Structure 1
Amino acid sequence: MGRLARVSNFLDWRDRMLRAVWRQDDSLPEQVLAWMSEVYEESGEISGEEFCDLWTTRTFSLARSAFEVIRESVLDDTGKRIVGEEFSYVNYFRDPEFGPVGVVRFKSAEVSTPDWTEVLGVVAEGVQEFVMDYYGTVWPVCDRHSFGLHVDYLHETAVWKCHAGPAGGHVVRALDPSIRL
């Protein structure tokens, strides 16, 4: 099979898989599309059901990793721990009534995509709510303005943004401390 035919087969398969997970490729980040390409290279034209399982497994795995990153960030910034029964609202569930793939729910936010940036942002918002509810502490805080920060996205990177200042706000740092802006 020629390269053009293989690319055509991949694009057809990718479109079918995106319909299987109730998504459209124009709204997906490059990271997700690259992951789909890797799945296709490794496994070929797997079924929609198998793909939904991979999508869910990857989303849950990313959520667990994101939670560790954010948990460490809270500990470093505040000295407060995010563990135990009080954090029981972190849920991973899969209910076919609500869609073909699983959902990660953190407090009032939920995510159902294998995109690190989006998962990290949702986890950060959930942990931020927890820190406020459980500890009565605003986290994180802008050192320059002493206001609480908000999750935002800049060039497919999840960031903490301060809404104070003359230009309507400024990016303070990436949510993932390993990323330097």
Structure 2
Amino acid sequence: MANFSDWQDRMLRAVWRQGENLPEEVLVWMSELYDEFGDMPESEFCELWTARTFCMARAAFEVIGRSAEEETGKEVTGEEFCYIDYSRDPEQGPVGVVRIKSVEVSTPDRAEVAGAVAEGLQEFIMSHYRVVWPVCGRHGHGLHVGYARESAVWKCEGGDGGGHVVRAIDPAPPQAPGQSPSRGSGSGR
């Protein structure tokens, strides 16, 4: 039986993340999985990685989508907007792909998920309604996703000093359902 460090290295290779500095939250989640299930196979870990990402994206969409609807008065749900896409392509590798519009979410990390969901919603609102969202109240510029202190934020590129953070994208990030997902959890579809 492998030790945690060996298992973690093998699993990170399976999801193409070896050598990356992953957020502490993802590393803790991996440790909890190992504590609960031990040396699980790569295929099961990849399924859990993608299922966690998918669940977090759906939860983030609910919060960020509500914000978008309140700020623009435009609906971001319905048949026109397939908000989350989850697919698996064996030629692309063992990890499923979670997308929000054309933006891929590849790590089950709250900040990356919130940023990708925000970019996907932003893309939808611009392409479907021709509305810029969100906008900096001080400069009138459209905002861009950025990251500060391990949080996804809306940034304005206007003003002195090359821009500023306007606000957190999701001030109360959603928790992924079930801190310790059970084996064999599906894609959520």
Distance 1:13 1:140 in 2: 42
Corresponding residue to 2:90 among 70, 91, 96: 96
**Range with greater deviation from structure 2 (75-84 or 32-41):** 75-84
Q: Which residue of 2 is the match for residue 53 of structure 1?
A: 47
Distance 1:88 1:70 in 2: 15
Higher Rg of the two aligned structures = 1
Displacement after TM superposition at 1:145 (Å): 0.5
Q: Which residue of 2 is the match for residue 32 of structure 1?
A: 26
Is 1:152 the equivalent of 2:154? no
Q: TM-score, normalised by structure 1?
A: 0.89
> Any unmatched runs of 5+ in structure 2?
174-189
Distance 2:117 2:133 in 1: 14
Q: TM-score, normalised by structure 2?
A: 0.86
Distance 2:150 2:26 in 1: 11
Displacement after TM superposition at 1:130 (Å): 0.6
Equivalent residue pairs, number:
172
Corresponding residue to 2:123 among 123, 129, 144: 129
Amino acid at match of 1:163: E
Aligned residue for 1:18, secondary structure, equals helix
Q: Identical aligned pairs, as a percentage?
A: 65
> Any unmatched runs of 5+ in structure 1?
1-7
**Range with greater deviation from structure 2 (33-42 or 155-164):** 33-42
Amino acid at match of 2:95: V
Displacement after TM superposition at 1:75 (Å): 1.6
User: CA distance change for structure 1 residues 130 and 76 in 2, over 3 Å: closer, same or farther?
Assistant: same
Q: Which residue of 2 is the match for residue 4 of structure 1?
A: none
The one-character-per-residue Cα deviations of 1:91-110 (angstroms, maximum 9, x if unpaired) are 11111111211111222211
CA contact (8 A) 2:77 2:83 kept: no
Corresponding residue to 1:118 among 103, 112, 115: 112
CA RMSD in angstroms comes to 1.5
Distance 2:171 2:10 in 1: 36
Amino acid at match of 1:32: V
| Structure holding more helix per residue | 1
